[in-house]
Amino acid sequence: MDILKYTEKHKEFRKRLRDFIKKEVMPHADEWEKNKIVPKSVWRKLGENGFLCMSVAPEYGGMGGDFLYSVIVAEEMAKTNQTGLITMLHSDVVVPYIDTFGSEEIKKKYLPDCVTGECITAIAMTEPGAGSDLAGMTTTAVEQDGEVIINGSKTFISNGINCDIVIVVARDPSVGNAYQAISLYIVESGTPGFSRGRQLEKMGLHSQDTAELFFTNCRIPAINRLGEKGSGFYMLMDKLQQERLATSIGAIVKAEYILDATMNYCRNTLVSGRPITKSQAVQFALVEMSTEVKIGRIFVDKLIADHMEKKNIIIETSMAKYWTTEMVRRVADRCLDLFGDFGIFEECPIVRGWRDVRVMSIFAGTNEIMKNIAAKFMGF
């Protein structure tokens, strides 16, 4: 029995999305990889067709849909073999901070454009000297006279070039407790004192615009703070469950895509007049990988269902994030071997995916951090 229950509306949504992807994404995926960025116009087309921020309430322009719509988008986007349109980052990681913690004024100002794709979002946590350790961040935010003055730098920021707004995680230097000093602020593109550095060259994720961001006496209205001052760390903890679940979903669907492409290749490639799949070694490899992927799919689907029921699954999502992202690396590596000499060429259907999945064990909190979190909540 299927764990997730898709309605006819979900199925119709998936069909519309597949049609959109066939027309607007697939013909351009290789071009985006070459150019190392996705045109902002594509984000607007996604929004116009209702494929962004599906959980946002109708009063702010959204459809008020459940999390299964996000799962559908993640699954279908994974099959496009490009990473520039990281819709889950926008719709299910960044925008929920605004939707949950923003004032009514903030919601009315930003959410409608986030839904339509007119406003592309990013979140800036990582710093050159502080990655998964939020307590070590040095970017400061000083509030005075109705304004906030931000100073510092961020790096490895996805959507860093394209973003129209960025949620900046910064600390009040006057507060001694590192966690109680953290707040979240919305900074608009074009704000004086906010500048973008170089677009970073990466091993994979070539069509994703990853950049350095700099803040030099960057002044924003104090109303652009999300929630109460000093509550940023708790906001991050509240939303990281969904972020890590989103990462796990991405890992599973990528593993499924890579494995499916590999099985098709092995079925249709002949060696000595016989398909590669007639080799027992190849059969065993495909069965073993299929088993891992199916185990991961069942685990993640159960977590999706639990998350939709608003259960506390911090331990389980931490486990899933580390296990699925390591599993997809194993699958991608082993599948590449099955392609033989063809596996060294760019036209091999999984070479891009093999590169792209390597970073998944690092972002959204390294896998070592995931194990630390699980151990802590398990009382070890």
Structure-token pair, residue 104: 């009514």
pTM value is: 0.91
Q: Which whole number is the average pLDDT over 126-145?
A: 82
pLDDT value of residue 79: 87
pLDDT in tens, 140-160: 999 989 999 999 999 999 999
pLDDT higher than 70, residue 131: no
- Looking at the DSSP assignment, which residues form a beta bridge with residue 187? 166
In whole angstroms, give the CA distance from residue 346 to residue 238: 40
Closest CA to 84 of 252, 198, 199, 190: 199
Per-residue pLDDT band for 1 (boundaries 50, 70, 90) equals low
Cβ atoms of 360 and 322 closer than 8 Å: no
**pLDDT, tens digit, 9 for 90 and up, residues 185-238:** 999 999 999 999 989 999 999 999 999 999 999 999 999 999 999 999 889 888
pLDDT at site 178: 75
pLDDT tens profile 15-72: 999 999 999 999 999 999 999 999 999 999 999 999 999 999 999 999 999 999 999 9
* Coil, helix or strand at residue 166: strand
DSSP 86: -
Is pLDDT above 70 for 133? Answer: no
Mean pLDDT within 114-131: 90
- Could you tell me the pLDDT band of residue 364, with boundaries at 50, 70 and 90? confident
Q: What's the angle, vertex CA 356, arms to CA 350 and CA 78, rounded to 5?
A: 70
Quote the tokens at residue 51: 């494929």
For strand 182-188 and strand 225-226, is the pairing parallel, antiparallel, or unpaired? antiparallel
* Cα–Cα separations (whole angstroms), residue 298 to 30, 77, 152, 303: 32, 20, 42, 9
- Reading the block at residue 204, the tokens are 């994979």
Q: What are phi and psi of 50, to 5 degrees?
A: 80, 25
Query: What is the reported pLDDT for 121?
Result: 97
**The pLDDT of residue 2:** 85
- Strand segments, DSSP code E, in the chain are 121-124, 140-144, 147-158, 165-171, 182-188, 194-199, 210-221, 225-226, 270-271, 274-275
Is 31 designated active site? Answer: no
The predicted pLDDT at position 132 comes to 62
Q: What is the DSSP string of 99-160?
A: HHHS-HHHHHHHHHHHHHTSS-EEEE--BTTBSS-GGG---EEEEETTEEEEEEEEEEEETT
Across the range 110-139, mean pLDDT stands at 88
Q: What is the pLDDT of residue 250?
A: 93
**Mean pLDDT estimate for the chain:** 94
- Cα of 34 vs its chain's centroid, Å: 21
Instruction: Please report which helix (H) or strand (E) contains residue 8, including its range.
Output: helix 8-24
Mean pLDDT computed over 105-117: 97
CA distances to 27, 53, 153, 254, 285 from 48, rounded to whole Å, are 19, 11, 33, 26, 43
List pLDDT tens digits, range 234-257: 898 888 889 999 999 999 999 999
Decide if pLDDT at 377 tops 70. yes
pLDDT digits (tens, 9 = 90+) for 264-292: 999 999 998 999 999 999 999 999 999 99
Q: What pLDDT, on the 0 to 100 scale, is given for residue 195?
A: 97
**In order of start, what are the domains of the chain with their CATH numbers?**
8-119 (1.10.540.10), 122-229 (2.40.110.10), 233-377 (1.20.140.10)
Res. 136: pLDDT tops 80: no
Which residue out of 33, 243, 292, 316 is catalytically annotated?
243
Which amino acid, residue 146? Answer: G
Residues 6+ apart with CB under 8 A from 338: 262, 265, 266, 276, 282, 285, 286
Where b means 16+ CB within 10 Å and e means fewer, 75-110 reads bbbbbbbbbbbbbbbbbbbbbbbbbebbeeebbebb
